[in-house]
Amino acid sequence: MLMCYFMMMVFMFMMGAFVFCSKRKHLLVVLLSLEFMVLVMFMMLFMYLNMFNYELFFSMVFLVFSVCEGALGLSILVSMIRTHGNDFFQSFVVLQC
């Protein structure tokens, strides 16, 4: 039964990676797919630590870093919307000064 849960989580992670690779039009969709992949990795880590009766301190450290990652992504999104007016990747030029 536990192997079924791990296979389902691997499938969910692969679907998140597929969305991350295929939907590159909007920054918000990319950030949401990254956050989905981080949550799936947290579920896998939590199940792994519970299965071997380890301490759950590392999962709290993982959550702290994932929250920091989410905050950085949202700040990039807000600054991009303020400077360019939307979150399309095609609407701005990277080489522009």
Does residue 46 sit within a domain?
A: yes
* Domain CATH for 36: 1.10.287.3510
List, for residues 23-39, the tens digit of each pLDDT value: 778 888 989 999 999 99
- Domain span holding position 46: 2-82
Per-residue pLDDT, 34: 93
Per-residue pLDDT, 94: 63
Cα–Cα distance measured from residue 24 to residue 34, given in angstroms and rounded to the nearest whole number: 12
Number of domains in the chain: 1
List, for residues 37-81, the tens digit of each pLDDT value: 999 999 999 999 998 888 889 999 999 999 999 999 999 999 988
Does residue 91 sit within a domain?
A: no
Does residue 89 sit within a domain?
A: no
Does residue 13 sit within a domain?
A: yes
Per-residue pLDDT, 33: 93
Does residue 94 sit within a domain?
A: no
List, for residues 82-91, the tens digit of each pLDDT value: 988 888 877 7
Q: Return the SS3 of 26.
A: strand
* pLDDT at 17 > cutoff 90: yes
Does residue 11 sit within a domain?
A: yes
Indicate yes or no: pTM above 0.75: yes
Does residue 25 sit within a domain?
A: yes
Does residue 95 sit within a domain?
A: no
